[in-house]
Amino acid sequence: MKTSAREIFTGGIILSLTALIMRSVSVAFNVYVSGKIGAAGMGLLTLIMSVYSLAVTFAVSGISLASTRLTAEAIGSGRKEDVRSAMRRCLIYSFIFGSATFIALFFASDFIAACWLDDMRCSRPIKLFAISMPFISMSSAMQGYFTALRRVNKSASAQFFEQLIRIFATTTLLTLIAPKGIEYACIAVICGGTVSEIMSFIYTFVMYKYDLSKNFRKVSGVSAGLTKKMCRIAMPVAFSAYIRTGLVTLEHMLIPYGLKKYGATSDRSLETYGVLQGMVLPIILFPTAFLSSFNLLLVPELAAASAKGEKRHINYIGERFLRFTMMFAVGVAGIMMCFSHEIGYVIYKNHEACDFIKTVAPLIPIMYLDSAVDTMLKGLDEQLFNMRINIIDAAVSAALVYFLCPKIGIMGYIITIFASEIFNLSCSMVRLMNVTGLNIRVMSFVIKPLACVFASCTFVKFMLDAARAIACSYLSLFVHLFLALLFYVLFLLLTYTLDSDDRAFIKRLFKSGK
């Protein structure tokens, strides 16, 4: 079963619109939370969430990719009878790992708060989010199933439902208990997230059971070795994620520690850390809502094409995907650099956030392209390579934070982010080119988009300054960013950065049929 480019595009658009709405709501909600608990509260919450990320990594243990790959390969090879058996194994696997993570977190919360985070206010929030681990893990397996089948409407509805529950529960709890202090504010946010994860699992499970009974009947004679294949896919991803997320968690713990060594007070360290990690990076990563959904759909497509040995199809889809990713990322980076002050002030009313946005924005093309390349490598069964690179990357990053932050403060962490992303992308890109033979054209990938975004931002800035238009509200900020994006696309067309093959590809996406 070969999926047309149009089907990938349509599914990607649906998921992207969903992700965009969810990300917009999430950023708006993040602004609301930061206003409620302050920069220091955001710092403490971000510290707690670093442990949460590590816990989710252990709970999920690579099962999302495994369920996606097994389902896609079973359908692609014409063995639909394997789907039920594969998913049963994936759900058992996820329940075991999720439950083990819950037990470990619940009984070790005091130790983690005292010895890892050096703040006992983190203990009760850790106990609360531990409850959600089995539910997150099993939901991840089912989301992998829906991704493989490209049931994008089901994934979209689950995200909407989860976000609605999270907002309602969190805002209610913040109103009730946040005035008691930072610890209770963090408890409110964590508890709201836990409730939403449980409700989302129930919703997803009902959809999964209905879809499975409708499309895949119970049969005997499934392929042998499904458990072994599941573990071969999941475990390398899991071990890589364990080590990498563990090192990333260590890195995040070392940041406030290093800032204190640099001379900042405990509260000031949490504030600076909270502004960069809890406020600025969500803004920097916000536009990935447009790309993450296509990344998600690319895995089953590349897995199916790789199983059939369709190298031309892989290269065709891959090259277009990377080109569009780079053009998008360069545009976002240029616009964010140009309007960093307006973005930081309008959204957070925080001048430190403005400076951080401008400093980190040049890294956007590298970050976005690295994510796309990693996705392609996973779809091509190169997760072992990703594992090795990610571990090395995380270890070097933790070491850099440990040595740099006590000497140069928060700039040490920013330097670490740049070094980490450049190293990761360089290694992954070389590997992808070796595996696929993709042709990366520097002129159309980098130089032309840079020239177009520079021209766009310069023209819009000049035009708005002449009109004395200042971005002092969300509406005026939107107008500024929209005009810059509009002229960027116009310059891409006028300079033929979108070449004839790209234009033909886009036209096919909007035609009916294959």
Rounded average pLDDT over 422-428: 91
- Please report which residue ranges of 61-132 form alpha helices under DSSP H: 63-76, 82-111, 123-130
- Res 60 pLDDT > 60: yes
Among 298-302, 362-366, 412-416, name the one with the lowest average pLDDT: 298-302
Give CA–CA dist 348/345, Å, rounded: 6
- The lowest-confidence range among 44-58, 73-87, 164-178, 451-465 is 73-87
Q: Is 50 exceeded by the pLDDT of residue 514?
A: no
pLDDT band at 512 (very low <50, low <70, confident <90, very high): very low
Report the phi/psi class of residue 48: left, alpha or beta, with left for phi > 0 and alpha for psi in -120 to 50: alpha
What does the chain come to in residues?
514
For 473, which DSSP code? S
Amino acid, res. 388: R
Residue 187: name the closest of 195, 206, 433, 427 by CA. Answer: 195
Is the predicted pLDDT of residue 396 greater than 70, yes or no?
yes
Tens of pLDDT, residues 474-506:
788 888 899 999 999 899 888 877 766 666 655
According to the model, what pLDDT value does residue 247 have? 84
Query: Taking a C-beta distance cutoff of 8 angstroms, is the pair 437, 312 a contact?
Result: no
Position 510 pLDDT exceeds 60:
no
- 75-99 pLDDT per residue, tens: 877 777 788 888 999 999 999 999 9
Tell me the two tokens of residue 279. 């406020």
Highest mean pLDDT among 49-63, 269-283, 338-352, 438-452: 49-63
Mean pLDDT over the full length of the chain: 83
pLDDT at residue 147 is higher than 50:
yes
Q: Do 133 and 101 form a contact (C-beta atoms < 8 A)? A: yes
Q: What is the pLDDT of residue 502?
A: 63
At 495, which amino acid appears? T
Alpha-helical (H) ranges within 216-310 are: 226-262, 266-273, 281-285, 289-308
CA distance 186 to 50: 13
pLDDT tens track for 6-25 = 555 555 566 666 666 777 77
C-alpha angle 306-311-312 in degrees, rounded to nearest 5: 135
- 298 phi and psi, to 5 degrees? -70, -30
Tens-place pLDDT, residues 258-288: 888 888 776 777 788 888 887 888 889 888 8
Task: Identify the pLDDT of residue 7.
Answer: 56
Rounded Cα distance, 171 and 71, in Å: 38
User: Is the per-residue pLDDT at 204 higher than 90?
Assistant: yes
Model pTM? 0.69
